[in-house]
Structure 1
Amino acid sequence: MTEDFDVSSDWHVAAPYEFLRGLREHSPVFRSEHLGAYVLTRYADVRAAYGDPGRFSSAGSLTISRSLTDRTREKLGEHGSFLGSFVANVDPPDHTRLRRSVSRAFTPRAVAAMEDTFRRLNEELLDRLDPRGEADFVTEIGHEPSVKLTARFIGVPEQDEAFVQAHVKDWFQLFLSPQPPERQLELADSFLTYLDYVDRLVAARAKDPQDDFTSLMTALIGAELSHREVVELISTILLGGNDTVPNQLGNTVLRLLREGVWPVPPGLVANASEECMRIDGASLGSFRYAATDIDLHGVTIPAGALVLLSTDSAAHDESVFPDPGTFRIDRPNAAEHLVFGYGIHFCVGAALGRLQLRTALEVLGHRLPGLRLVPGGPIAYRKSIVGRGLPSLLVEW
C-alpha cells in the first residue's frame, strides 16, 4: 500500500481508490505527513464530522496555504487569509448570518428560472461547434455555458468573462495546488488583480444596483454583511461556476463515454449524474480543524489539528456503496455521496450545480448522440489537494 498521500503524483487524483480502501480498512483515522493533516476515510465518520461543527470547526479551514513561501505571503498581505469570512469557512453564529443572506439568491424558484438560460447557452454553443465534428470537451464545451451562466447570475459583464475565468484558474492554482516559489509570486499578482476587480464591481453596484447577485448582496452591506464578506462571497461563487461545476461535467462525460452509456437515457439522467459525482467527484473533500481533542478509532486527534474529511473515500466506502468501483447508472443510493458536504455546510449552490449537470447531459446527449473519445487522446488530471478536474478531453462526433 502507498505510504501516504502525494499531491505531486498522478495517482493522487486519478486513481487513489486502492490506497483509500486500505486506509478505510486498516487506518480509518490516518495521520498524513504530506498533507499535514489527519484524514477521515470512512463514510460514517466523514458524515458525522460534517454534522458536528462543535468539534470539527470550519473556521479558517479553506485557507489551506501552508505551501506558500514567505515572499508570497508578504505579497498577499491581508489577503493571505482570503476566504477568512466566506460562509463555508466560518462557524455559527457568523455562518448562520452569512448563509441566511446568500440563501436569498438560491431559492428553488430562482434556481429553476436559470434552467432555460443554461439550456439555451448550451444550445448556442453547440450550434457553433456541431459542424466541426471534434473539440476539446474541457476547454471548448464544458466550461463556456457554466462560465456565462455564473457571470450573468453574479453580474459580470460579458466582456469580462474571459478575464474572470483566467484569474479564477490562477486563484485555484495558488491556494489549492502545489506551485514553485516564482510561480507563486506570479499567481499572487493575478489573485490581487482579481480581488481588485471584484471590489470595483461591488462598488459599482452600490452606486447603480442591477438585477443580479452582486447588487442583492451589496444592498446588505452595513445591515447584515461587511464589504469584505460580499467580495469573498462573489469571488467564491465565481470559483464554483468557472471551475468546480465544469470540472464535474468533464469528469462525468469521460466516465459515461468509457462506460459506453452515451447518450444517457432521459429517464436516467438525474441518477447517472449522481453516480458520476459519487465515483468521479470534482471535490475530493473538505478541511476542518479539531476544536478539541477527538478520540476516534483508537487515535487521538489533538485540538487545533487540521483534518481532511475525505468525501472521495467516503463515496467508495463498501459498507454504503456495494462494489464502489463499478459504475451503476441505476445505483439506488447514488445521491447519498457527500460531494456537496452535509449538515449546516451543505453547499448552498448544490441545487444549481445539479441542475447544470443534468441540463448539460440532456442537451449534449440530444445534440451529439455520436459523441466519443478521440482514440489515443491524452487523459490526465491536474494536480490538486482537494479537486478533480481534466485540463483537456479530446472528443469527436
Structure 2
Amino acid sequence: MTGDIEDFDVSSDWHVADPYDFLRRLRHERPVFRSEHLGAYVLTRYPDVRAAYGDPRRFSSEGSLTISRSLTRETREKLGEHGSFLSSFVANVDPPDHTRLRRSVSKAFTPRAVAAMEQEFRRLNEDLLDRLEPRKSADFVGEIGHEPSIKLTARFIGVPESDEAFVQAHVKDWFQLFLSPQPPRRQLELADSFLTYLDYVDRLVASRAKDPRDDFTSLMTSLIGAELTHREVVELISTILLGGNDTVPNQLGNTVLRLLREGAWPVPPDLVANAAEECMRIDGASLGSFRYAVTDILLHGVTIPAGALVLLSTDSAAHDESVFPEPERFLIDRPNAAEHLVFGYGIHFCVGAALGRLQLRTALDVLGRRLPDLRLVPGAPVAHRKSIVGRGLTSLAVEW
C-alpha cells in the first residue's frame, strides 16, 4: 500500500488486507474523516469509537445494519420489503426495542448454555481432524475453519444436518449482497438467493411453532406474541446463522494465518485465551459498525450533521497507539489485548461474544494439539475477500 491513498476503497485489496498505514494517518491527521467512497463519516481513534458505542442518544443504531445503499433500483424492487432486512434485529435498533429484544435473546446465551456447547464444539473439531489429518494438506478456509462452527450453530438453532450446506451457501450470498460491492446482474442473482433463504427460515419458525423442540428457534418462537414478533424471530435466527457460518470462521482463519506468520504455532495452552484476543485485536473479523448521527455532533473541530452515517472503525481503534503500544506488532501476551472493540461496547456488546470466544479458544486448543506442525504452503497466495465491514480470507493453503 502506498502512502498517497486518500479514501477507503472497498474494491481494492488493501481495504481489508492492509489498511493500517492509511488508518494511522487518519488517526493522527483527520480523526473525523468524511469518506466519499463509503458515504459516511469515520471515527478512527479508540476513545472516540468507544464513546460513540456507549452513546446511543447521539449515535443511533436504528437502521445501521441495513447497508444496502449500493443496490440498484431493480434489485431493491425485487427485494421489496426485505430491502430493509435486519430492520428489527437487536443490533439494529435503539432502546426500548433493543432492551426488549436483547432480554429475549439472552435467555438462550446463559453462561451454563454457552459452557455446555464447548464439549460439542470440541468433538466436532476432533471428528473433522480424524477425517482430514491423514491427508497432510487442506484449504483451511474451505475444509477446516468453517465446518465445526457451521454444525454447532445449526444444532443450536435447530437446522437439520441435511440443510447445513444450503444455509451456508445462502448466508454467503446474503453477505455478498448487503456487505460487499456487486455488479447489477450479480445483485439480482444474490437477491433471489436471499429471498429463498428468508423463506427457509420463515418455514423453520412456523414448523417449530407447531412442533417445538429443544433448540433456539423453538425458544424464540415460544415468545412470539408475548415478547417478540414473527419477523423479529426470523431476523434473529437469520443473523445468528450468519455469525456461526461466517464471522466466527473468518476470525479463526485470520487468527491461524497470523499465528503461522508470526511463528507462534502451536500456542502454549496457558496462552491460548490471550493469543485469541491479540489476534482479534490485530486481525479482527469485524472492521467496524455503522451508526446514524441523531443531532449535529462536533468532534475534533468537525461537525457531523444530524442524519449522517458514521462508521465506528474498530479496526483503527484496535491499532491506536495511545491504547496499544506498538500496535502493528503481535504480542501473544499483550496485557490489554482483550480491550479491543471487535464485539462492540455498551448496550450493543455482542450477545454471542462469550460463545465466539469459546469457539476460538477451543479450535486453537484442538488444532494446536492435533496439528502441531501446521504450516502455510510455500508460495500459495493469500487473499482477503472484499467487504465494507468484514475481514475474511477466500482460501488458505496449509500442510502438516
TM-score (norm 1): 1.00
One of 200, 221, 242 as aligned partner of 2:245: 242
Secondary structure in 1 aligned to 2:393? coil
One of 343, 353, 360 as aligned partner of 1:357: 360
CA distance in 2 between partners of 1:237 and 1:54 (Å)? 26
- What one-letter code is carried by the residue in structure 1 that aligns with 2:342? V
- What one-letter code is carried by the residue in structure 2 that aligns with 1:150? T
Count of aligned residue pairs for this structure pair: 397
Given the alignment of the two structures, is residue 381 of structure 1 paired with residue 384 of structure 2, yes or no?
Answer: yes
Q: Residue 130 of structure 1: CA displacement?
A: 0.4
CA distance in 1 between partners of 2:6 and 2:383 (Å)? 22
One of 1, 4, 8 as aligned partner of 1:5: 8
User: For each residue in 1:359-394, what CA deviation from the matched residue of structure 2 results, as whole angstroms up to 9, or x when unmatched?
Assistant: 000000000001000001110100000000001000
User: For each residue in 1:282-311, what CA deviation from the matched residue of structure 2 results, as whole angstroms up to 9, or x when unmatched?
Assistant: 000000000000000000000000000000
Task: For structure 1, list consecutive stretches of 5 or more residues without a partner in the other structure.
Answer: none
User: For each residue in 1:203-242, what CA deviation from the matched residue of structure 2 results, as whole angstroms up to 9, or x when unmatched?
Assistant: 0000000000000000000000000000000000000000
Secondary structure in 1 aligned to 2:8? coil
One of 86, 91, 99 as aligned partner of 2:89: 86
Given the alignment of the two structures, is residue 289 of structure 1 paired with residue 289 of structure 2, yes or no?
Answer: no
Counterpart residue number, 1:135: 138
Counterpart residue number, 2:183: 180
Secondary structure in 2 aligned to 1:64? coil
One of 257, 262, 271 as aligned partner of 1:259: 262
One of 293, 298, 302 as aligned partner of 2:301: 298
Q: Residue 88 of structure 1: CA displacement?
A: 0.1
One of 51, 55, 63 as aligned partner of 2:54: 51
CA distance in 2 between partners of 1:169 and 1:64 (Å)? 16
Task: For structure 2, list consecutive stretches of 5 or more residues without a partner in the other structure.
Answer: none
The 5-angstrom pairing of residues 109-148 of structure 1 reads 109-148=112-151
Counterpart residue number, 1:233: 236
CA distance in 2 between partners of 1:215 and 1:280 (Å)? 35
Q: Residue 186 of structure 1: CA displacement?
A: 0.1
Counterpart residue number, 1:371: 374
Given the alignment of the two structures, is residue 157 of structure 1 paired with residue 157 of structure 2, yes or no?
Answer: no
Secondary structure in 1 aligned to 2:95? coil
Counterpart residue number, 2:17: 14
Q: CA RMSD in A?
A: 0.3
Q: Residue 2 of structure 1: CA displacement?
A: 1.1
One of 387, 392, 396 as aligned partner of 2:395: 392
- What one-letter code is carried by the residue in structure 1 that aligns with 2:41? Y
Secondary structure in 1 aligned to 2:394? coil
Secondary structure in 2 aligned to 1:391? strand
CA distance in 2 between partners of 1:262 and 1:96 (Å)? 42
CA distance in 1 between partners of 2:286 and 2:177 (Å)? 17
Secondary structure in 1 aligned to 2:383? coil
